[in-house]
Structure 1
Amino acid sequence: MTRVTFYLLAATEDRARQRFACRLARKALGMGQRVHIHTPDAEGTRELDHLLWTFEDTAFLPHGTDVDDPNSPVTLHETAVPGDRCDVLINLAAEVPEYFGRFERIADLVGGDEVSREQGRQRYRFFKERGYPLEHHDIGAVR
């Protein structure tokens, strides 16, 4: 069954959530897992695409926005459904994507502002009502 982990960030800006998504993707990739990042919109996809190249001075994460590219270990998109070979879904959007059940693990990133927290509570209830195993981690400031 899909495991769902909520990461509660103290920061209120979207950039902090995006940076944390990069770190989670890097960690999962290092464990040999394929990752898909569900972004909130086309602008979020463009911003994250750039950040995945630049969030570290000494490295980048190989990635792409073509969800059907079998050579891309990290994909990101706001609407396209990823291929069947992904292990981890990182959710940056306000909604739970319809295709969430195909992943072994979901990392749901919740910002520190009240709107993000309420949207996160709604997603938490969604998973809880359906019996998914849930956990959460409070994350301090993300640089």
Structure 2
Amino acid sequence: MSRIEFYVLPSATSAERLRAACQLAMKAWRAGLPVFLRGEDAAQCNELDALLWAFKAEAFVPHALHQDDPSAPVVIGLDQPPEVGQGVLINLSDQLSAHIAQFSRVIEIVNQAPERLAACRENFRRYRQQGYDPQRVEL
């Protein structure tokens, strides 16, 4: 069963949330895990693509948009199934992925924006309803 974690940020900015997603993707990739960064929409996917090039000047994270290379070490997409199973899903969407069982770990990133808190609370409840035991991690 997938391990579900909610990483809680102290800030309310979406920029910090995306930066945290990039940092977590880099950490998972360096640990040898395939990563799927799931954006809310195509615009956010493109923003993540650009941010992964620039968020850390001394580091390179090999990544691609799903439509360009679905087998890249870090894939950015919407809700496509992963090419490589048992990796890490970083879910930035308001909805649960239809492919949770194909990942060994699912990360939701929570910030303090009221609409994000509400969406994440709802996702927390949905995971529990599906039999998962989501954990909270303070950043």
Q: TM-score range by the shorter chain?
A: over 0.9
Counting matched residue pairs gives 138
- 3-state SS of 2:36 partner: strand
2:40 is aligned with 1:34:
no
What is the rounded CA distance, in whole Å, between the counterparts of 2:54 and 2:38 in structure 1?
19
Return the offset for 1:86. Answer: 4.9
Q: Which amino acid aligns with 2:70?
A: D
Where does 1:1-143 land on structure 2 (aligned, <5 Å)? 1-66=1-66, 69-70=70-71, 72-139=72-139
TM-score, normalisation: structure 1: 0.90
Which letter maps to 1:104? S
User: Aligned with 2:65: secondary structure?
Assistant: coil
Which whole-Å CA distance do the structure 2 matches of 1:66 and 1:114 have between them? Answer: 30
Q: Indicate conservation of the 8 Å contact 1:35/1:86, yes or no.
A: no
CA distance in 2, matches of 1:133, 1:59: 33
> Over the residues paired in the alignment, what is the CA RMSD in angstroms?
1.4
Name the aligned partner's letter for residue 54 of structure 1: A
In the alignment, the residues of structure 1 paired with residue 70 and residue 129 of structure 2 have an alpha-carbon distance, to the nearest angstrom, of 34
Whole-Å separation in 2 of the counterparts to 1:102 and 1:131: 15
Change beyond 3 A, Cα 1:31–1:60: same
Shift of 1:47: 0.4
What letter corresponds to residue 69 of structure 1 in structure 2? P
Unpaired runs of at least 5, structure 2: none
Where do 5+ consecutive residues of structure 1 fail to align? none
Amino acid corresponding to residue 39 of structure 1 in structure 2: G
Cα gap change, 1:86 to 1:15, in 2 (>3 Å): farther
The answer to whether the 8 Å contact 1:6/1:135 transfers is yes
Deviation, 1:39, is 0.2
Mean Cα displacement is larger for which, 119-128 or 84-93?
Answer: 84-93
Q: Once the 2 structures are TM-superposed, how far is the Cα of residue 50 of structure 1 from its aligned partner?
A: 0.3
How far residue 21 of structure 1 moved from its aligned partner, in angstroms, is 0.6
Secondary structure, aligned partner of 1:106: strand
Deviation of 1:126 after TM superposition, in Å, equals 0.4
Matched residue of 1:64: which SS? strand
CA contact (8 A) 2:42 2:78 kept: yes
